[in-house]
Amino acid sequence: MSDRQQENAVAVGSGRVNPARNGTANGGRVPRIALRDIRKNFGSLQALRGVDLDIYPGECLGLVGDNAAGKSTLTKIISGTYIPDDGTMHLDGEPVRFSGPADARRRNIEMVFQDLSLCDHIDVAGNLFLGREVTKGPFLDRKTMLSEARKMLDALEIRIPRLTGKVAQLSGGQRQAIAIARAASFDPKVLIMDEPTSALAVAEVEAVLSLINRVKATGVSVILITHRLQDLFRVCDRIAVMYEGTKVAERSIAETDLEDLVKLIVGEKDER
């Protein structure tokens, strides 16, 4: 493990390729986002104890680990909600330091929250443009927003019949699709998804997974947190395993399987 971390550090400095990732076709590229030695404490609790992580354009990274392993804290640091106590973050090779979620969003880092963060009393188009309303003079430009919303959903092959309907009337899968479409449609560089499939029916899970693949195909770096390990093998290129605030392993999808992942997550460090 420590070997790999050292190599990561070297890889950034010299542009050398980490052997662990040879299979994922990221050779020589600058990572979209690179985290080095990220630490975060909440009082006496060490939530993150020095995490290194690279994510490349057009790649989906699965982030797994038990509850309280630090997955959420790490994604909240990437999305600007938390400020790390220590460590550095590089976006496309440039050092960055976010002042808050709005700052991260300005730099095209989007997050799909587990609770979806939709406003039930606002219509579908309004939710897609929430916080980015198109205006004509002092007024909302409803017509443009409706037609743009239709285009956004069509591009991701999401079918919602009535865009003027309130979000509360939609099914769980449709709500999830809207939350993803909102994050994916404004040219994100990094898209973080927290448990996007946990509350969905089977058909809806399939739809969301293929949606993630389509988003990934547009060159977006996707970070996927999920407890549904079988989903990882459908969409991810790499999987990072968190344990007690550290990254204990990183596997390319070709060199791991379900059993291996479960062992890594529960802490039987069976380095292959």
Partner 1 sequence: MTAYTERGQGSPWADFLSEQAQVLSIAFFFLVCVVFFAVTTDTFMTLGNQLNVIRQAAPILIVAVAMTFVIITGGIDLSVGSQVALVNAVAAITLAAGLPWPVVVVAMLCFGALIGLGQGWFVAYQGIPAFIVTLAGLSMLRGIALYLTQGYSIPIKGVPGFFALGRGELFGIPVPALIAIAVAILGYVVITSTRYGRQVVAVGSNMEAARRVGMPARWAIASVYVVAGVASALAGLLIAARLGSGSSNAAVGFELQVIAAVVLGGTSLMGGRGTIVGTILGTLTIAVIGNGLILMHISPFFTQIVTGAIILIAIWLNTRIFTANFRFGFARGNRP
Q: Which of residues 183-212 bind partner 1 (CB under 8 A)?
A: 201, 203-204, 206-207, 210
The strands making up 33-42's β-sheet, listed across from edge to edge, are 45-55, 33-42, 86-91, 94-96
Distance, CA of 180 to CA of 198 (rounded, Å): 14
Which C-beta is closer to partner 1: that of 12 or that of 146?
A: 146
Task: Find the shortest distance in angstroms from Cβ 93 to partner 1.
Answer: 25
Stretch of 25-33, 84-92, 170-178, 189-197 lying at the interface with partner 1 (CB under 8 A)? 170-178
Q: Which of residues 122-161 bind partner 1 (CB under 8 A)?
A: 122, 126, 130-133, 135, 138-140, 142, 157-159, 161
Beta carbons within 10 angstroms of residue 184's beta carbon: 25
Beta carbons within 10 angstroms of residue 135's beta carbon: 10
Distance, CA of 256 to CA of 1 (rounded, Å): 15
Quick check: 32 and 89 in contact, CB under 8 A?
no
Place of tokens 């496309």: 92
Give, as one character, the DSSP assignment of residue 100.
S
Q: Is 7 in the site for partner 1 (CB under 8 A)?
A: no
Which C-beta is closer to partner 1: that of 95 or that of 165?
A: 165
Contacting residues toward partner 1, per CB under 8 A: 101-102, 105, 111, 113, 115, 117-122, 126, 130-133, 135, 138-140, 142, 157-159, 161-162, 165-166, 169-171, 173-174, 177, 201, 203-204, 206-207, 210
